[in-house]
Amino acid sequence: MENAENFVLDWTSEQVANWLTQKGHGKYAPLLCDQHRLDGRGLFLLHEEDLKSPPISIEILGDIKRIIYDIESFKKEIHNDIRDRGYDPRSLVKITRSHSAMVESTSSYVSREVVVIPRGNFKVQDNILKPELVKMVVAAVYLFVVSWILAFVMVIVHDRVPDMKKYPPLPDIFLDNIPLVPWAFKLSEICGTLLMFIWISVCIFHKHRTILLRRFFALLGTAYLLRSVTVVITSLSVPGEHIECSPRTYSDQSIRQKLEEAFIIWKGAGLSIQGINTCGDYLFSGHTTAVTFLNFFITEYTPNTQIFYVLHLLAWVVNILAIGCILASHEHYSIDVFIAFYITSRLFLYYHSLANNQALYQKDSHRVRIWFPLFGYLESSMTRRVPNEYHTLGEIFVYVMKKIKQLMIIVRNMIIPM
């Protein structure tokens, strides 16, 4: 039992450092206590994820496990003392009389997170992030449908592009002051391909790849659905005289022919390096949207450590280079690129702010259901931020072999009935 002067919640950073040294963790005392000012309350609120993630970023797993083990053991030792002094043993919040009965009934310590819901209700949720493959498939289908809608809209807007002789390129501060670089647009697509390769690699090794993919599909689908509306509302004149666009009349094509052209655009992902040439789909830039999303997802779902600093820097450099190449190619107006970057970054930040903060989502749930219809379904089980944890090549090999073995058993049972 702690005396009043040495009550653990009143410990200073120096006392925490002494405790860490006594437990054999003295080498981390300067990092935790001097640099990050960890006191008694902070010690009891420390979790394994805090030690793994920035700004602490301890890289030795054994040390992390031993520190957490000693903290958990200490919690159990003085659990009753903390409660007797009028504190909730889990949240360390001072308990008022109106809450004492509730705390008493849940006083035994469990390793779970408490998510506070409005109107005074408490919802205890497991700390395990489930793969939920079905949600990833739903998000993928959503992106698939939206991509088809966008491809068909691109066929429509191509037929509505204004006549270049009657409607010359609009004034643009940036395009009017830089020379045309014909090969720049293809270079921007190569930059996007490089970012896509990096993102696929991240998803292959990330332990929570299904969560990453469903968020990527949902956000990209939402941005492209918005683009399907903006490009068809207003038809801008072509941004450069080098662009060869000849609008067709609607009578020249049947619906079937339009669908066939839409399939060609969809199959080639709208890329010029795939031989796709479209006109009229300017506001806003789909290329900028894609490379910006890829950059944001790569930097969000890789650790913020020195090892990955080069990767984060590369992602930003490639993102900026791709945007510069889009402008240098005169394939988009500056406003197309600016709005695309703004919308993409805001969508990403807004989505992840709500996903990582359930209390904020509950407060804003009505508007979220309107503007992000899928969000409530896709993120309903999320209780915390997705940790950046990775599988090794050996673990992936074992996992793949296990799935192949299970598939072979299923096929064999189908061929050879019981």
Q: What was the pLDDT predicted at 107?
A: 40
Write the pLDDT tens digit of every residue in 279-292. 888 889 999 999 99
* Catalytic status, residue 332: yes
Residue owning tokens 């010029």: 272
Are 113 and 384 in contact by the 8 Å Cβ rule? The answer is yes
Q: What was the pLDDT predicted at 124?
A: 40
Are 359 and 218 in contact by the 8 Å Cβ rule? The answer is no
Q: What was the pLDDT predicted at 104?
A: 44
CATH number of the CATH domain containing 57? 1.10.150.50
At 300, the pLDDT band (50, 70, 90 cuts) reads: very high
Q: How many CB atoms lie within 10 A of CB 28?
A: 19
The proportion of the chain whose per-residue pLDDT surpasses 90, expressed as a percent, equals 39
At 361, the pLDDT band (50, 70, 90 cuts) reads: low
> What domain range is 145 assigned to?
141-387
> Does residue 115 fall inside a structural domain?
no
Do 80 and 146 lie in a common domain? no
Write the pLDDT tens digit of every residue in 128-177. 788 889 999 999 999 999 999 999 999 888 888 888 888 888 999 999 99
pTM: 0.67
Residue 310 predicted with pLDDT over 90: yes
* Catalytic status, residue 84: no
Catalytic one of 50, 206, 281, 287: 287
Number of domains in the chain: 2
Are 293 and 348 in contact by the 8 Å Cβ rule? The answer is yes
Catalytic one of 50, 88, 172, 336: 336
> Does residue 268 fall inside a structural domain?
yes
The mean predicted confidence, pLDDT, of the chain is 83
* Catalytic status, residue 79: no
Do 166 and 256 lie in a common domain? yes
Rounded to an integer, what distance in angstroms lies between the CA atom of residue 188 and that of residue 185?
5
Write the pLDDT tens digit of every residue in 36-50. 889 888 888 888 888
Catalytic one of 158, 206, 330, 332: 332
Q: What was the pLDDT predicted at 288?
A: 96
At a CB cut-off of 8 Å and minimum separation 6, what does 195 contact? 291, 294, 295, 298, 315, 318, 319, 322
DSSP for 147-183, written as a single string? HHHHHHHHHHHHHTPPPTTTSPPPP-TTGGGS---TT
Do 334 and 260 lie in a common domain? yes
